[in-house]
Structure 1
Amino acid sequence: MTTSRFVIAGGGLAAAKLAEALRANDFDGTVTLVSAEDHLPYERPPLSKEHLLGKKALVDFTVDPAQWYRDHHVEVMPGTTVTAVDRATKTVALPDGTTLPYDKLALATGSRPRLLRLPGADAAGVHVLRTIEDSDALLALFGTARRLAVIGAGWIGLEVTAAARAAGVEVTVLEAESVPLSAALGPEMGEVFAQLHRDHGVDLRLGVKVGEITTADGHATGVRLDDGTRIEADAVLVAVGARPNIELAADAGLAVDGGVLVDESLATSDPDIVAVGDIADQQHPVLGQRIRVEHWANALNQPAVAALTMLGKPAVYDRLPYFFTDQYDLGMEYTGYVGPKQQARVVVSGDLGKREFVAYWLDSGNRVLAGMNVNVWDVGDKIKQLILGGEAVDPDNL
């Protein structure tokens, strides 16, 4: 009897959880996890939260210890990547020229930071945040730098800003939009976060365009805006979003469109290949549309479904999108999804001034599309019920 061979391309949370799920479902074939990083898979949210605040070390957010992989006979290949997929021969190529055969393949290749094509963008002292090494570099910076310029007021930019301010670093945040987080939350809720950071001494500059990262002797010294304004800084963080690593899938001829297209079971256009995490552009059975979200919850929860799909068992990923943030004394959870072309209005229950409230996004028929609880807890299940119920609500009763 031939042993089945499953390969996981990727080394983050989704990859680790997929290996766990395969063994939990009694898969007794070979499992090989090919990871670009030299570390065992770890969770990424602490990189911009607790780790930057000095509250957690890598060991605290490593998914499984080395002994787990040994005990469960999961082969981890650190410091390497899958460079190509040959679907005809069902093999993946590695950088040293060798190949691995597979019966089923999982793509968990994640994403990478978007880079700026600007003068000075490759200078020393210009940082991004994706890996533990990136986070370590920022943490070390907080002990020496007096001023930090952050380009981008998205989740990463603002979370790093909060950690920097906690360390006593002066921070200037530069954002092209008129409010932070406009794409994720819209103008009303974006303004909540704008005021939060201003209240903590952040120099928040909105509606600006960066023209250059200034340098001296090859090291970043700040930022020059298009209007000529100069912001002096000891270091610069570029936090302008992420790009999904879909090149491997595209080169293999899988269906892609900004992400790797997957069905409700997370299978790609090749039934022997699944995709999970940041790259998965799923036909969502509850929301009735394709969505691709770069959230920790997908990396955590999708693998359980993908594992069943790889094992030939029926499975559907129907969880609602979920993400969270912690900045200063503000804790927030967001459940649901409002598409970029969807019209929605925001109804708030609670106190915006004290930043203790629940915000609901309603469509034109007063159906709840999403909810965000800020410093209000134990309401997540109620928000889910409102969304999944699909019925009109009375905004005044929310």
Structure 2
Amino acid sequence: MAEPQRIVIVGSGLAGASAAGALRDRGYDGELVLIGRETHRPYELPALSKELLLGNAESPHPVHEPDFYESRAVDLRLGVEIAELRLTDRAAVDTNGVAHSYDRLVLATGSTPRTLPVPGADRARPRTLRTVEDSVALRAALVERPEVVVVGAGWIGCEVAAAARSHGAVVTVVDPVDLPLRRVLGPVVGAVFRDLHERNGVRWRLGVGVDGFVPGGVRLADGTEVRGDLVVLGVGAKPNTGPAERAGLAVAEGGVAVDAALRTSHPDVCAVGDIAAHDHPRYGRRVRVEHWANARGQGEHVAGTLLGADEPYSAVPYFFSDQYDLGMEYRGLADAEEDELVVRGDLGSRDFTAFWLREGRVRAAMNVNQWDDGEALQHLVDVQAAVPPEQLRTASLSDLA
């Protein structure tokens, strides 16, 4: 494969900016264009629901230092949105009709918060959290200590609830599932997070969904109402696949289908980050991950693919969360409802490591308020180690690894 003379990256988030950095680090000296619809230089998202929302930071972490784009000859074009891909012409066309030609194209268009299509949504205008403006505006509202309804008990919902309580707001969290984070962590570990939030004053309305928005709050499916001066939605995100789908690129699992090396169904186009439905070599199926580490890792990896390498991207998913005095890291990919749960440590004191096993092999591990065994946990998950449950509970993890 001849080295491309011009690479265009659509999406200036962590995945896209990481791809630009990795291309220059690999010695690519052709034209490199990074296009983003936001007006800010590329930044990382985790702080939006953590330090920034808590008031412990005034801005999110930049992906690169301010002078990176100029010093590395990256043509950064902000406030530009791509509306159409012309695959035959090798052009990405923005909403102003400008065609950005390419030899190779990377799609890193991220995702958009989902909304609730229920009565009253157009009038209520509930908050979502995806951009730095969202986070700053939400923090300004929370410091007024309003009554807050958080719809959704996933990671974003739980982190928003924790931040709101830290500012002294009255918080109710609503979710049709009976426990927070149950789909990811299962009932036993999900109960740890339920109890954590209860101890910090959060009120739960679990097992019932939102049926509509009413003045001053939400109406639930059981007919009751929950008061809230402020409603925040944390009900997931929708991958921004519109231009890819309209161009005829193959889709799967709600995203753009890519092979093990992150190539789409068109040989000149790759996709990374939230939108990439990745044919993962470790799992033998397509996996789409919406976490920080995946965006960075795929962004860095795709640089090699663009320059002719054919190495599969094989990193396991990783994410972290901080809520009140609980910090955690999760590595791997488990079916929390079906896989065997093994707990090392004490759930009650929130000082433990949880393992999920399938057919006796470690599929995922989560350390909670324990920080000494990260490398060992990573290795156990990477190799899907076959370890008896009792050894996981009691043996030295470094020895097991």
TM-score band, normalised by shorter chain: over 0.9
Name 1:242's counterpart in structure 2: 237
Name 2:179's counterpart in structure 1: 179
Separation in 1, partners of 2:223, 2:284: 47
Cα deviation, residue 2, structure 1: 11
Name 1:43's counterpart in structure 2: 44
Name 2:265's counterpart in structure 1: 269
Separation in 2, partners of 1:40, 1:49: 20
Does 2:8 correspond to 1:12?
Answer: no
Name 2:342's counterpart in structure 1: 347
Separation in 1, partners of 2:371, 2:145: 36
Cα deviation, residue 118, structure 1: 1.4
Name 1:218's counterpart in structure 2: none
Query: Unmatched 5+ residue regions in structure 2?
Result: 393-401
Q: How does 1:1-398 map to 2 (within 5 A)?
A: 4-58=5-59, 60-123=60-123, 126-215=126-215, 221-257=216-252, 258-339=254-335, 343-363=338-358, 365-398=359-392
Q: Is the 8 A contact 1:125 1:235 kept in 2?
A: no
Cα deviation, residue 391, structure 1: 4.1
Q: Is the 8 A contact 2:4 2:307 kept in 1?
A: no
Name 2:399's counterpart in structure 1: none
Separation in 1, partners of 2:309, 2:4: 18
Q: Secondary structure at the match of 1:126?
A: coil
Cα deviation, residue 38, structure 1: 0.7
AA in 2 matched with 1:282: H
CA-based RMSD: 1.6
Separation in 1, partners of 2:95, 2:335: 39
Separation in 1, partners of 2:129, 2:88: 37
Q: Secondary structure at the match of 2:122?
A: coil
Separation in 1, partners of 2:180, 2:3: 55
Cα deviation, residue 125, structure 1: 5.6
Q: Is the 8 A contact 1:260 1:281 kept in 2?
A: yes
AA in 1 matched with 2:241: I
Q: Is the 8 A contact 1:145 1:235 kept in 2?
A: no
Cα deviation, residue 15, structure 1: 1.0
**Worse-matched range after superposition: 327-336 or 184-193:** 184-193
Separation in 2, partners of 1:71, 1:99: 25
Name 2:398's counterpart in structure 1: none
AA in 1 matched with 2:23: L
Q: Is the 8 A contact 1:145 1:234 kept in 2?
A: no
Cα deviation, residue 183, structure 1: 1.4
CA 1:244/1:345 → structure 2, altered by over 3 Å: closer, same or farther? same
Q: Secondary structure at the match of 1:52?
A: helix
AA in 2 matched with 1:21: A
Per-residue CA shift, 1:240-299, capped at 9, x if unaligned?
111111121111111101111111111111121111101111111122221111110011
Cα deviation, residue 227, structure 1: 2.0
Per-residue CA shift, 1:342-366, capped at 9, x if unaligned?
8301110001110000000011x21
Separation in 1, partners of 2:263, 2:116: 33
**Worse-matched range after superposition: 166-175 or 260-269:** 260-269
Q: Is the 8 A contact 1:281 1:290 kept in 2?
A: yes
Name 2:396's counterpart in structure 1: none
AA in 1 matched with 2:204: L
Separation in 2, partners of 1:339, 1:73: 44
Per-residue CA shift, 1:35-85, capped at 9, x if unaligned?
010101110010000001111122x51212442111111111111111111
CA 1:2/1:263 → structure 2, altered by over 3 Å: closer, same or farther? closer
Q: Is the 8 A contact 1:125 1:234 kept in 2?
A: no
Per-residue CA shift, 1:341-390, capped at 9, x if unaligned?
x8301110001110000000011x21111001000112222122222333
Q: Secondary structure at the match of 2:52?
A: coil
Cα deviation, residue 313, structure 1: 2.2
Tell me the TM-score normalised to structure 2 length: 0.94
Query: Unmatched 5+ residue regions in structure 1?
Result: 216-220
Count of residues in correspondence between the two structures: 390
Separation in 1, partners of 2:298, 2:77: 22
Q: Secondary structure at the match of 1:123?
A: helix
Separation in 2, partners of 1:303, 1:180: 31
**Worse-matched range after superposition: 284-293 or 385-394:** 385-394
Separation in 2, partners of 1:361, 1:6: 41
Q: Is the 8 A contact 2:274 2:288 kept in 1?
A: yes
Q: Is the 8 A contact 1:264 1:283 kept in 2?
A: yes
